[in-house]
Structures are given as C-alpha cells and as structure tokens.
Structure 1
Amino acid sequence: MGTALVGLASAAVGFIEKSFSATQVCINYAEGPPNGPPLLLLHGLSRDWRSFSVLLPELSHHFHVFALDLRGHGRTDRVADSYRIAEFAQDVTEFVRARFPLGAAIFGHSLGAMVTMNVAASGKCPVKAIILGDTMITPENFCRSLYAPLFRQLYELLRHTQSHAMLAAGMGKILIPVPGLNEPVRIEELPGNTSEALAEWARCALQTDPDGAFEDWAPHKTLPRISCPTLLLQGNPELDAMLSDDDVKLALRLLPNARRIQFPLLGHALFMQQPKPVLDTVIKFLSSVAN
C-alpha cells in the first residue's frame, strides 16, 4: 500500500530522501545503505528525521537505516485534525508492512517512542525489537517534568510567530525551572542550546502541526500488548529528562520483555547531547536480540 520515489540527497552521507504514499499522507523519509537488518528511526515532537543525524554514520555501518518524518513534521504531509498517536502509528504501520515484510527494529525518541509503542502493541506489522528514548509513559508524570512548562510556552510562541529568526530568539528566552536553583533559567543558558541548535529547533517547529497528539494515549492498555524485546533509555530528570523513575517502574511492570539503561549525565535530548553512549547501548541491545 505505497510507493517509494527517489528524492533529494540528504546532508547525511549515504542517505537519500524518498517518499512513501500511505493512505492519508505522503511520508518523507531518508534511507541509508543496506548494511544490515532494517532499523526504523522515529523523531520527537517538533523535530524531523535529521534529529538523528549524529547517529546515522555509525548506525548505517550496522543496519539498513530508515528515518521518517512523522505526519505534520518535516516534509511529510499535514492533515486537518488528525494527529493522535494512533494516526501517527497507522502511517508507520503501513510503511513497515510495505518495506519490511519480515519485520524491523524501531528506535523512537520522545513522541516517536510513543508512536513506536503503539505500532508494536497493535500487532498489525512485524516488529523485531523497540528502543524507547526518554519518552512519556503517563501524562501525570509528564505534567510534573521540566518539559510541561516548556511545551506550554513553545505552543504559545508558535501560535503567534511565523518568522524563523523570531521563533528561535523567543525559544531561547523561554524560562524553565531547574532543580537546585531558586529561579527559572532561559533555555539559551542551558548546556547545548547554542544559537545554531535553537535555529534548527525553530526550523523544525515551524514545520510542525501535531495538535492533540496525546489525546488517545493509554499506557495501561498499550504496554502489556508489546511482546518484542524492549529497551528503555532514561535520561536524568534533573537535567530535563522526561522519563521519570515512577514511569520506568510502571513500564517495567507492564512490558513483558523490557530492560532499562540510565544515562545520568544526559537530559531529554539524549543522543543530541552525547551520541556515543547512546550509540553503544543501541548497537549492543540490537545485536543481543538478533542472536
């Protein structure tokens, strides 16, 4: 149920952007060289496939990598009022069924991890293993994280800003609480949030239209239906990571075949901050489940 058309060469060496026609949207994705079993990458909210750029060179030595733009993100089509987790997952399911009849591993970050869980739980396509990068398990714990005020302020900016430069500047001025400090700090003052990083985030955010993405999320129903090997990547909640210890405990209880790796020096961005520890963990996990 789809076609792949060769598109523009990407900035990532050896990766080519292509398109896939799903039922509701035309999906933009980047494909690497066929150097191993298939690995599908799903990005987070207000990002696109290029958020994985720092991982692509090494991953492509071990896997046949496909990195998608989710609906309403990057160069993938927008659709009116159709941004629930199940709808993101339906697009991905169609892609997996068309491209990987024998199954694929999926690595999702943030929103992409929620979509990954839904795809794996549905049983509508073959999924070999999943990796869940610092994602939301329960809305209640998300509301207590540092990311809740960030997203509220980001959406307010997006409603009133269409200029790339103005959005990047405004994002840098967003105030978020930091554990151990009496006063909130600006995003631009946090490690890794350079002007270049904020400009890239603004570019992605302006191409995003995912209203209502979390409305149908039901972890207690979804997680027990996931039977494939699962790896949880947890950053440090004190460094803005989203996945709380309580959510990890719940996930490990509900997921039949899961393990957790902690990254105490990394926040929500994980591999965008330090790619090597995440790369080593991902490659080791996928190698172990392949044997």
Structure 2
Amino acid sequence: MTVISLKSAQVREGLTLPYAEAGYPGGTPVVLVHGLGDSWWSFEPLLRRFPASLHGYAPTQRGHGDADRPPEGYAPEDFAADLVAFLDAVDIPRAILVGASSGGVAARIVAGSHPDRIAGLVLLGVPGTLADKPAASGLRKALEGLSDPVPRPFVEDFLSGTAARPIARGFIETMVEESLKLPAHVWKETAAGLLDTDLAATLAGILVPTLVIWGDQDEYLPREDQQVILDAVHGAGFLVYEGAGHVVHWEQPERVVADIAAFAARLAHPGTPAGPA
C-alpha cells in the first residue's frame, strides 16, 4: 500500500491549500481535483493504490476541508486559477489532471487554457452541462436557506445517491465530516458559480488527450450528458463502468487507478494498446 504524505502549499498571498501526496518521485505527475463539498480525502482510496509509475497530488480546494477560506472567488475559473498556481507552487511543470464530478470543470478549464502544462485529462463522472439537470435545480433550492452551522442532514442528503454500490461506512463518515467543514457561504457561492457558468463553453479548446469515465448507474448524469463532452473534445476516449454510480473513484478505486495508469502509459508510449473498455 502506498504511503500518503500530508503537506501544504501557499498558492498566493492569503491562500494556502493542504494537499496529499503519494507515489514515487519518478512517476508521472497526476493531480487529482475534487468536487463540491469534498477535500483531498475524496481521493484517499486512489492514492493508497497508486503504482510506482504514478506520483499523485490531491489538493484541497479553497473554502473546502482545511484549506483557507477567502471571502470570495468560488467560480470555476477561480478554482482553475488556483490549480495553475498549485502546479507552480509545488513545482510540477506538466501533469495529468484527473477531475471528479464538478472538480472536472476546473480541470478542463486548465486543460483548455494551459495545454503546455497538462499532459492529459481524465474526467470521472463530470457533467457535460447542468442546465437541464433536475439535481442542479434541486441543489439550488436546497441551498437557499442554508446557514451556519451547516446541518448534518443537509450534507448526508447531498451525498446520498452518489454511489450505486456499497461504500465503507467509515469512509462515508469521513466525507460527511469533511463536507461539514464548509461554511454555508462556500456551499452557496461554489454551487452558484458552477450552476451559473456555461459549462458547454468550458469544453471549448481542449486539445490534450482526454479520457472520460462514467458509471452507467449515475443518477445525475445520463449517457447523453457524457456525449456532450465526447462531441466537444476531439478524440476523447470513453470508458463505461457497468453498475457504478456517480462516484466511480469511491466505488471502483482499483479499476480507476489501473485506467489512469494505462492512460499515462499511452501518453508516454503512444504505441501502447488501449485496455478493454
């Protein structure tokens, strides 16, 4: 099992992001980007399974977990700017970005705007668009009256339905505790930034190799939503995880790690055959 180290990086004045690091110094740098309400802990099941070929970094985004909480700056482009600053602060010249759920929006903005820094992009249950999703309008309504302290039932309801397979209760409890660290204003502003952004526009200009991974039991993102991404990103690969829900990296971490490692190998050695979908 790979050892996980906890560190922190000051990405700009007044903003320090904790991050988890795992893997081997000579491995391909892989930066993991979590979604709304999560922290680096979202990727603990992946990091402890990283092979020698990968070197993983999982920053906690602003306002989340134990990261600093500036009063503003919670739109997808703000999180994207933080990601580029994180690459600079940790001295990562070029990396594979792996975005999960809404974290994939910031990741693809960086992939489109800084292709010189991004070797490849992996999207795990990432929305193509949210404009037509009932869950999106439901979240907006649920956040209207949210105030501090954020109630545990709100967080538990937010996480319910994300997985189609059983997840270890201890891990789910950890994720609930991490989500409870977010002040109400961070929940509201991060969600508003996501819901008010033209997500289709964030898919424009992505020229780096891209892999889309989706669970066919995802309650939030139907197959046609993923087609929005595949139509926009030329040559993107697509892997369907049968029986998995929205959080494929929690439900099938071994497979996700294997697919990321295979993707990295193909980038390093273009003649490497793709594995089975």
TM-score grouping bracket, smaller chain normalisation: 0.7 to 0.9
Q: 1:192 aligns with which of 163, 166, 173?
A: 166
In structure 2, the CA distance between the partners of 1:218 and 1:191, relative to structure 1 (3 Å rule), is same
Deviation of 1:100 after TM superposition, in Å, equals 4.5
What are the within-5 Å matches in structure 2 for residues 50-199 of structure 1? 50-100=41-91, 102-123=93-114, 126-141=117-132, 143-144=133-134, 147-148=135-136, 151=139, 155=143, 159=147, 161-162=149-150, 167=152, 171-172=155-156, 174=157, 191-192=165-166, 195-199=169-173
Asked if structure 2 preserves the Cα contact closer than 8 Å seen for 1:39 and 1:107, the reply is yes
Partner of 2:3: 13
Give the letter aligned to residue 179 of structure 2. Answer: A
CA contact (8 A) 2:11 2:89 kept: no
Aligned residues: 261
Point out 4+ residue stretches in structure 1 off by more than 4 angstroms.
169-172, 186-191
2:155–2:180 CA contact under 8 A, matched in 1: no
Give the gaps of 5 or more residues in structure 1.
Answer: 1-11, 177-185
- Is 1:278 the counterpart of 2:268? The answer is no
Q: Which amino acid is the alignment partner of residue 28 of structure 2? A: P
Q: Partner of 2:203 in structure 1?
A: 223
Deviation sequence 1:73-125 (CA, Å, 0-9, x none)? 11211121320000000010112234445311111101211110011111275
Q: How many angstroms apart in 2 are the aligned matches of 1:20 and 1:67?
A: 14
How big is the shift at 1:43?
1.0
Percent same amino acid among aligned pairs? Answer: 24
Greater RCO, CA 8 A, separation 6+ = 2
Following the alignment from structure 1 to structure 2, what is the Cα–Cα distance between the partners of residues 76 and 175? 21
Aligned counterpart, 2:214: 234
Q: Do 1:74 and 1:207's aligned partners in 2 also have CA atoms closer than 8 Å?
A: yes
> 8 Å contact 2:76–2:194 — kept in the other structure?
yes
Alpha-carbon distance in 1 for matches of 2:261, 2:31: 13
Q: Which amino acid is 2:7 matched to?
A: E
Aligned residue identity for 2:175: W
Q: Shift in Å at residue 140 of structure 1?
A: 2.3
Query: Which residue of the partner structure matches residue 269 of structure 1?
Result: 247
Structure 1 counterpart of 2:11, one-letter code:
S
